[in-house]
Chain A
Amino acid sequence: MINIRELLFITIALSFFSMGNKAIAQYDLGFNSLKTVPQTNLLNPSYIPNYKYHFGFPGISSTLGSYGTSGARYNQIFSPIGDSISLNTESILSNIKNGNNINFRTTNQWLYGGMKWKKFYFSAAISDIADVNSMYSKSLVSLAFEGNGDHIDETIKASPLAIKALQYREYALGAAYQFDDQWNFGIKAKFLFGKSGINSENTDLSLTTTKDYYYLDIKTDISVNTSLPANKKDSSDVSWSEYAFYGSNFGMGIDLGASYKLDDQWSFSASVLDLGYISYDRWLKTYSSNIEFTYKGIDINQFDGLSDDEVDARIEEIKDSLTDLFDIKESVEKFKVPLTAKIYLGANYKLSDVETVGALVRIEIFKGVIRPSFTASYYRQLNKNFGVTANYSIINRSYLNLGVGFVANFEPLQVYFVTDNVYGIIFPNKVRYANFHFGINFIFPSHSINRPMINL
């Protein structure tokens, strides 16, 4: 039976290694500048594409993925040794701070469509989303790699340590309203159905090694909720259809947005995304450990008067008791997981009819920790069919994220692709952040094709 430690290890390991085959991003920063793509409405529900209606190519209208870490990069985690690679613990420790995150997100939009009606714009989407957010501390990694020998008379705290891994299906209904020539407002309601989830409620874990005696004072207050097929009594019974379409683990979310056009050059936008939660009520298992004890070693007096066989038996008992020190309990508890809320604040300046520069501040709030990022973008409409964008982002303590993107409009077809880090696409092993976002839409403008497709 899997326990919390194994679960954490697997999750962290998966997070580390996932960039090898699923370099995915959740931030979607440069994408914000591709205003001709209807899916920008996903970042701010007040955006109103300048199409009478549109719909996405089923299954590939919007496929995005991202990977990000504020800690060590892949090539800082592993070092080449001949034809092989080896875990480089020194490099890892020198490239992480006390608080580090590892995140990845995939969104695959199965169906998407939208239409304008008078001053309103309505949209609907069905998407599958996998969203993993985790935090780990340098002290925990240092403890694992370097041991506690250099931290005598100190308390090593594992915090920040957290994980929230959710996979869910999202049914979204959005509405935007053009209030006047300057203001747009938008709202999007999301109905969520969780497929699986892991969420750490408490992750307080500390180890103090006392001076001289090297007593190990261990305190834990850990509680990790899981909703996984493996928790089912007979997990082999879980079919794909049961997993993918079972209508339970219900949740709701809401996105709010507003945009403001100051004049012909300046426009501003603000949105708050993913305010909501998912209530998990199937395949549940909660792992918890709440202990406070001091390990003083093995009491040799307990061997007094024992025969050799009895001593051997007692040693086995001691081994078992050491394993049970953490007193990990399993229970079945329903749990509610908040979505990871995001705030986007943007400003655009129109250089010309075909050029726009923008700035975007994105704030993500995870377990009470605010993670900001900044993006500057440049968009140019090359001709009536092609638009390109270039962007620069500061994110995850990384200052070299140069991204590009394009959108090709050959009505009714629209193809787009954008990444926030070109280098990350080519060398994903050398970056802290990599993402891509592409899709195919069918667009039906409501005006002459010689006019801009979107007005802010």
Chain B
Amino acid sequence: MNNKSKYRITFKLLIISVLTISFLQSCYKDKFKLDKIAGSDWNPNIAAPLFYGDLNMTKLVNNSSEIWREDPDGLLSLVYIGDTISDLADQIFTIPDQSIDTVLPFVLPPGMFPGDSTSKYMLIEPEFNSGSNQRIDSVLIKSGILTIEATTNINHTSYIEIVIPQLKKYGATGETFKAKVNIPYTGGSSTTITKQFPLYEYMLSINTNGSTNNKVKEYVKMFVLRGNGADNSPYSFNIKQSITSLDYYQAYGYFHQHTITVNETKIPISLFDNLHYTQIFIEDPILTLGFKNSYGLPMDMTFNDLYVERDGISKDIISNLLPTLSLNYPDFNHVGNSDTTAFIFNKDNSNIVDVIDFNPEKLVYSGTILSNPTNVILPNFILDTSKVNISAELEIPLYGRALDFTLNDTSKVDFSDSFDWDKIESIDINLNAQNYFPVESKLQIYFADSNKVIYDSLFEGVSQIVDAATIGPPPAYRTNIPAHKLTTIKLSNDKLIKFKESKYIIVNSVSTTYDNGTKIIKIYSDYKISLELSAKGVYKSRINP
């Protein structure tokens, strides 16, 4: 074989190789179809923790709009409080208007020449009208007007001046009240002048040093300046005094019997709201009626109503303390202060346990307060701001037992856009509960249509999701070891779709205290339940290139 032949063969081999490779490349392109990858189903079975958290009583209490009380040992109580304030004293006890009319004679001494003057002093002792069966010994006037109308037939210039030593300006100076009325002569048979004097912040002392005559001494000075007219003596001064619109800061004396109305007060009790088929037994509820009295006089509160109510049915609170309660009051050393009185209604002196077992929705009370109920005259004092605060405090300790503590809650929902539910083939939801509460709970979630007609439920039957922790011995009844409960909720795609289509979700939870509600338990502030939610499910999806 010559070289030319060799090269020709080699060249042919090369051409064949190139053509073969080109052919194979085109074949490969067709075989691999990398440009035609259409994606793939991807249906992994995924297990993962979702959420966890603690629900503890301290947090619940802090976030609650209710009023809670914690004992030193941590026992929690729900407290429902209602306050009622009586009318103020100045609306109950009033001082009547005063009015006196005095005529005083006056004769010019003989031998007076024009320009000469003379005066005369007189003492009058009008009686202060304290009102029916009342006796006012002293009063610090907040407002009031003393009006003096002076009429005289004297044909000369004159004036009168009234000094009331028992009426002094309140404060350090203690200035005695003086009122002067000038009566100029302008002709005619008589002259009348009227003048008003405000009495605010004057202290009027009526009965002092043990006196009870209600007299107020007034020193009246009559003054005449002889003019050119004739002396027509005898003359007279007619003095009309009135005190109107007399209000007080303080008043001392005896204010007899007055009735103060305590309007109806309703205190909502939310603990038993939304309960159905429930029996809750509270061991030691306490109703405390507290009175804060700033009247300086004896008072009795008589309840016209004191009852609880549920679904329109009432139940009276019965106690040997009722119906009338005597209130403490501040003595003269504590003017301006209040004295308190508390009446505690417990299982020993009332039917309060039965009342709470009635699972009431509200507490209602109303009544009257009578001042000086015994009608024995005692030194009283009142302030314009004197009042009686009535506080009703119903304390329900979380100490007792409950059977089928049922809560129903209906919520309008719309899951239609929230998730692509079709992609979940099935899902197992694990609910892990570590429960320190001596309470077990069952849960059911119902799916309802737009008419709230239930068409399915989440669980097949009611599912117990939380076991009760075991309680310790009395009196603490504490739990120390949490109860662990794992609940697996298996949801098919069909169930999920029904869940998605629901318009209303009705959550029904039923809780019972330890040992089927036969044992007494206490709920402490450090109790908590730890919940962990995890899920395992097949997620249907598609991988697209």
Contacts and interface: CB of A to CB of B under 8 A. Distances in A.
Contacts of A304: 59, 63
B49 A83 contact: no
A23 interface: yes
A307 interface: no
B538 interface: yes
A417 interface: yes
Given A212-B486, A296-B49, A89 B10 contact: no
Contacts of B543: 87
Given A413-B6, A426-B24, A408 B13 contact: yes
Interface stretch (A33-41, A145-153, A229-237, A340-348): A145-153
B366 interface: no
A259 interface: no
Interface string B441-482: 000000000000000000000000000000000000000000
B432 interface: yes
A212 B536 contact: no
Given A23-B28, A296-B52, A147 B45 contact: yes
A239 to B, nearest CB: 29
Nearest to A209: B47
B52 A21 contact: no
A410 B1 contact: yes
A429 interface: yes
Closest 6 pairs (CB-CB, A-B): A149-B45, A147-B44, A410-B6, A87-B40, A297-B49, A84-B38
Contacts of B53: 299-301
Contacts of B340: none
Which residue among B24, B36, B430, B486 has the maximum number of chain A CB atoms within 10 Å of its CB? Answer: B36
Interface string A292-310: 0001111111001100000
Contact of A88 (B40, B49, B539): B40
Nearest to B534: A214
Contacts of B38: 81, 84-86
B21 to A, nearest CB: 9
6 contacts: A297-B50, A298-B51, A300-B52, A410-B6, A426-B27, A440-B14
Contact of A145 (B6, B44, B533, B535): B44
B45 to A, nearest CB: 3
A74 B34 CA distance: 11
Contact of A214 (B9, B17, B29, B47): B47
Contacts of B13: 408, 415
Given A84-B38, A213-B430, A295-B49, 9 more contacts: A20-B32, A21-B29, A87-B543, A147-B45, A149-B536, A297-B532, A410-B9, A411-B6, A415-B17
Interface string B14-56: 1001000000110111011110111111101111111111100
B277 interface: no
Given A87-B37, A428-B28, A213 B17 contact: no
A149 B50 contact: no
Contacts of B419: none
A385 B54 CA distance: 86
A213 B51 CA distance: 10
Contacts, number: 144
A149 B47 contact: yes
B47 A83 contact: no
A147 B28 CA distance: 33
Nearest to B53: A300
B536 A17 contact: no
B537 interface: yes
Nearest to B533: A297
Nearest to A60: B14
Contact of B430 (A214, A298, A385, A428): A214
Contact of A417 (B6, B17, B27, B31): B17
A384 to B, nearest CB: 9
B119 to A, nearest CB: 82
A438 B1 contact: no
B28 A410 contact: no
Given A213-B432, A413-B10, A300 B51 contact: yes
A212 B396 CA distance: 39
B3 to A, nearest CB: 8
A140 interface: no
A135 interface: no
Nearest to A425: B24
A17 B34 contact: yes
B326 to A, nearest CB: 47
Contact of B46 (A23, A74, A149): A149
Nearest to B44: A147
A427 interface: yes
A78 B51 contact: no
A216 interface: yes
A427 B28 CA distance: 8
B51 A146 contact: no
Which residue among B17, B27, B48, B59 has the maximum number of chain A CB atoms within 10 Å of its CB? Answer: B48
Given A87-B39, A152-B536, A413 B7 contact: yes
B537 A149 contact: yes
A417 B10 CA distance: 12
Given A87-B543, A150-B45, A213 B9 contact: no
A301 B528 CA distance: 13
Which residue among A74, A78, A149, A299 has the maximum number of chain B CB atoms within 10 Å of its CB? Answer: A149
A215 interface: yes
Contact of B1 (A74, A385, A429): A385
A423 B229 CA distance: 159
Interface in A316-359: none
A413 B4 CA distance: 12
Interface string A126-153: 0000000000000000001111111010
Contacts of B535: 214
A11 to B, nearest CB: 17
A360 B59 CA distance: 76
Contacts of B34: 17, 20
A280 B437 CA distance: 63
A134 to B, nearest CB: 20
Contacts of A295: 48-49
Nearest to A79: B40
Nearest to B36: A84
Contacts of A83: 36
Contacts of A78: 33, 37
Interface string A1-30: 000000000000000010111010000000
Contact of A410 (B7, B29, B32, B537): B7
Contacts of B39: 86-87
B536 to A, nearest CB: 5
Contacts of B5: 410
Nearest to A75: B31
A21 B28 contact: yes
A196 to B, nearest CB: 24
A410 B10 contact: yes
B474 to A, nearest CB: 33
Nearest to B37: A85
B466 to A, nearest CB: 15
A159 to B, nearest CB: 21
A23 B44 CA distance: 32
B538 A212 contact: no
A215 B28 contact: no
Contacts of A21: 25, 28-29, 32
A214 B42 contact: no
Interface in A392-446: 408, 410-411, 413, 415, 417, 425-429, 438, 440
B534 A213 contact: yes
B44 A149 contact: yes
Contacts of A428: 28, 31-32
